[in-house]
Amino acid sequence: MAARKQGHCKIVGCSRPVHARGLCQKHYDVSRKRSGKRASSGANANCSVSGCKQPHHARGLCQIHYDELRKRVAGRAGAGAGSAAAPSGRICRVPGCTQPHHAKGYCKRHYGQLIRDGAVGMTADSSGRRYTRSERLSVLRHRHERLRREIESIHKAFEAEAGKD
């Protein structure tokens, strides 16, 4: 379940609780009716970088500073696993994972597991209790041994069939 939204609407002078995209329900609806344009956080919203007077584009930044931020984050992502910080500052909710948040509180890897498997990680039973690391290894060893025996029996059957000819 996604984290609960907190705070107040980003429109200057509005103190209603946040509904989506940093806006209250009223301002969010207004922004959607404006042919897809989002509401700005004030009449003359400018870039939040000190000294920059360019109009706001995204995440409180003008187009130039926003593009620079995206390039820096993308550059760090290529440097090695876990080195890039999420632009929102959030990280994956899975304990021990330091990857940037992607969707529903998870990084891309764990969100993919959630979509594919319906859960993140392997579950031990129908109640959703997660395996410990040693339990996961035990399950994998058991599967490996079962597959090894199955392959061995297939080889014996193949050899017996080949010996008849």
Q: How many residues does the chain have?
A: 165
What is the model's pLDDT at position 153? 92
Cα dihedral 106, 111, 114, 116, rounded to 10, equals -170
In a domain, 137, yes or no: no
Residue 145: band (very low, low, confident or very high) from pLDDT cuts 50, 70, 90: very high
In a domain, 144, yes or no: no
Q: Which residue has the higher pLDDT, 52 or 113?
A: 52
Instruction: Answer whether residue 82 shows pLDDT above 80.
Output: no
The 3-state secondary structure of the chain, one letter per residue: CCCCCCCECCCCCCCCECCECCECHHHHHHHHHCCCCCCCCCCCCECCCCCCCCECCECCECHHHHHHHHHHHHHHHHHCCCCCCCCCCCECCCCCCCCECCECCECHHHHHHHHHHCCCCCECCCCCCECCHHHHHHHHHHHHHHHHHHHHHHHHHHHHHHHHC
What is the model's pLDDT at position 80? 47
Same domain for 36 and 3: yes
What is the model's pLDDT at position 35? 42
- Count how many domains the chain has: 2
Same domain for 41 and 5: yes
Percentage above 70 pLDDT, the chain: 70
Can you read off the two tokens belonging to residue 106?
Answer: 């998870």
What's the mean pLDDT in 106-132?
Answer: 70
In a domain, 74, yes or no: yes
| Structural domain span for residue 66 | 55-84
What's the mean pLDDT in 40-46?
Answer: 58
Instruction: Answer whether residue 152 shows pLDDT above 90.
Output: yes
Output the average pLDDT for the chain.
Answer: 75
